Chains A and B, each alone.
Chain A
Amino acid sequence: MIDFNLIPLLPEIFLALVAMGLLIVGVGRGNEATNTVAWFSVFALAIAMIVMLGLNWDEHVVLSGMFKFDRFIGFTKLLILVGSIGALSLSVRFIKQMDMGRFEYPILVLMATIGMLLMVSANNMLALYMGLELQSLSLYVLAAFRRNSIKSAEAGIKYFVLGALSSGMLLFGISLIYGFTGSIDFTLIADTLGNLDFMPFGVIFGLVFVLAGMAFKISAAPFHMWTPDVYQGAPTSVTALFAMVPKVAAIALLIRLLYEPFGSLEEQWQQIIYFVSLLSMVVGAFAAIAQDNIKRLMAYSSIGHMGYALIGVVVASEAGISAVMLYMLIYLLMTAGVFAILMSMQRNQVSLEKISDLSGLSQNSPVLAYSMAVLMLSMAGIPPMAGFFGKLFIFQAAVEAKFYILAVLGVLASVVSAYYYLRIIKVMFFDAAVDPYDAHIPFARRVVLLISVIFVLAFILKPTLIVASAQGAAAVLFTG
């Protein structure tokens, strides 16, 4: 009756054990062990990734229907692990520099990663909620990690309070769904809802609340209000993590929710996601123009990117979903590169966050300036960078599914957003140079930046391989 097959959970179990073990190491040796703990965590994440690649990627549902693993989930988990590895290796030196090099940091990142892995694998509302809370709680703590900074504490509190509100909405939605169907199991909910010939209002009510909770997690407008404040307030290394990984996890979970339990509510949720996507694109495009803090700008940029990604969700086609997954991959790697540069914006060990601090960068450190230019062009979706292809696939899918208005507005929004990406390039290349940054850029940061830039530039050469794996992932949602 109870299926205790734990093999699909091996990566998560391994990571959890490593996290606990490392905590013991940390407690024993204190903050000198931070580096060891951090690199060991990165190493463990890499091993988890290898273990995951070795798993059987066909559909598995284990632990009395709580946990699911298939091609789509596997692809997402790979992205999550890659993102975590990137974010954590970016952090190692940074937390030292920012005087917050405590050994709990990497452990919290590990726990957040576990939470995300569990969350995308959930096949049950309860498992979903637990995974979601595990990652959220870790992230709240990380946001406030820099204790002696008021901004960081404020970011933590804001994120926590609003996150609690969104969790409340999610739970209320789940309870309504349970009230109607009598089940919290994805498969049972899907079956029950699939058999109906009309859609009762209570279910739609629940759907709205559940989606509101999820939209908060991917910071889609109008549930995005926390994003700029938290991105700005949190330490930059944490912001990098926020921008990269939870987004991927949440959007994958959203897709699974929409296609698995709520598959028969397509007509309803399309309207909701349509609205959210549209608003996110608009907010992401326009609000960023007025920003002068680059972390805030990245926050709005991520809101906009989520808007584009959601277009792919709305269209409800295989092409759309594979476009979303591809978009998330590209977004993740671009963001990693951008944050690698942002972390290197330091003078005399003080981090700089203003756009005007980039002024004349091309003269002081041309490598950083050119990398940033490449990444910004990619973010703006200018060919032949990877970002262009991400947007191209999304809009293609939208046009194929006859969502013309959404596609046109998406293109317009990306034109507007190109303004502030190009402004950064303009500041770097045409404004008068100021004092150079601290010259030393740690090795890990260089590697992340290099990988990101090479990916962005070289995507054009070999899209087929990556596209094929994204398509394979998307296909499982549609084979029924």
Chain B
Amino acid sequence: MIVQALAFYLFAGILLMSGFMVITARNPVHSVLFLILAFFNSAGLFVLLGAEFIAMLMVIVYVGAVAVLFLFVVMMLDISFADLRKGAMQYVPIGLVVGAVLLSELIFAYGAWSFAPESVANAASPAAQFGEISNTEALGRVLYTQYAYVFQIAGLILFVAMIGAIVLTHRVRPGVRRQKVSEQHARRPEDVLEIQKVTPRTGA
């Protein structure tokens, strides 16, 4: 029990710290690296909660794909973050005030928090079969049955994302040579070859 608590505070502490560093780090590459650290720590928190599948997703998707993409973009694009920050800095006071107000209200809400009497019963239903089967299997069971509808919409969203990415970035550039296999196959010797008789000692 004590190990779990210790682990929680460790992960949570590092998570908050690295989150703070993401915003404040001067070097954008450092920011991204801190972001990756934050992802790892939140994955650890998920493991503590017994949600090992989501923890894995965290590592594979966010760390493996998203953060690496970020890193590439940040390293390859020449953006002066310092200039960007300059414009935004003038709003920091207001931002701080807004943040402070929001924080105090959140604390207020937390202080006055209560659960609806039915909430446990409401939330309980899908988790009934957790005892015997693994986390992943349990998710799979509901994902393809109860949540099949939403799953399909998610498919549509990805479909749109694909179309959108192509529409917004794909350009047909003139002068790019591509291999056209069908043309290569359809080529006949007589189209491209010319047999010339070369008389010796006269030159071409």
Contacts and interface: CB of A to CB of B under 8 A. Distances in A.
B122 A183 contact: yes
A388 to B, nearest CB: 39
Contacts of B116: 180-182, 192-193, 195-196, 200
A320 to B, nearest CB: 29
A102 to B, nearest CB: 7
Given A176-B109, A205-B105, 19 more contacts: A20-B159, A104-B163, A111-B156, A111-B159, A111-B160, A126-B150, A127-B149, A133-B157, A134-B153, A134-B160, A137-B160, A140-B164, A141-B168, A180-B114, A181-B119, A182-B119, A182-B124, A202-B109, A202-B114
Contacts of A137: 157, 160-161, 164
A133 B164 CA distance: 13
B145 A182 contact: no
Contacts of B184: none
B72 interface: no
Interface of A: 2, 16, 20, 23, 63-64, 66-67, 102, 104, 107-108, 111, 114-115, 118, 126-127, 130-131, 133-134, 137-138, 140-141, 144-145, 147, 156, 176, 179-183, 185, 188, 191-193, 195-196, 200-202, 205
Nearest to A188: B122
Given A181-B116, A181-B118, A182-B115, A201 B109 contact: yes
Contacts of A108: 160, 163-164, 167
A192 B118 contact: yes
A193 B119 CA distance: 10
Interface of B: 105-106, 108-109, 112-124, 145-150, 153-154, 156-157, 159-161, 163-164, 166-168
B184 to A, nearest CB: 21
A66 B149 contact: yes
Contacts of A145: 167
A84 B151 CA distance: 25
**Secondary structure of the A contact surface, majority rule:** helix
A193 B164 CA distance: 40
Nearest to A26: B163
B164 A147 contact: no
B108 A130 contact: no
A403 B150 CA distance: 40
A263 B21 CA distance: 43
A200 B112 contact: yes
Contact of B160 (A102, A118, A141): A141
B122 A182 contact: yes
A200 B121 contact: no
Given A137-B160, A141-B168, A182 B123 contact: yes
Q: Kindly list the 4 A-B residue pairs having the minimum CB-CB distance in the complex, ordered from nearest.
A: A182-B119, A182-B123, A182-B122, A141-B164
Given A181-B116, A192-B122, A205-B105, A130 B157 contact: yes
Contacts of B115: 179-180, 182
A111 B153 CA distance: 11
A126 B113 contact: no
A137 B167 CA distance: 13
Contacts of A193: 116
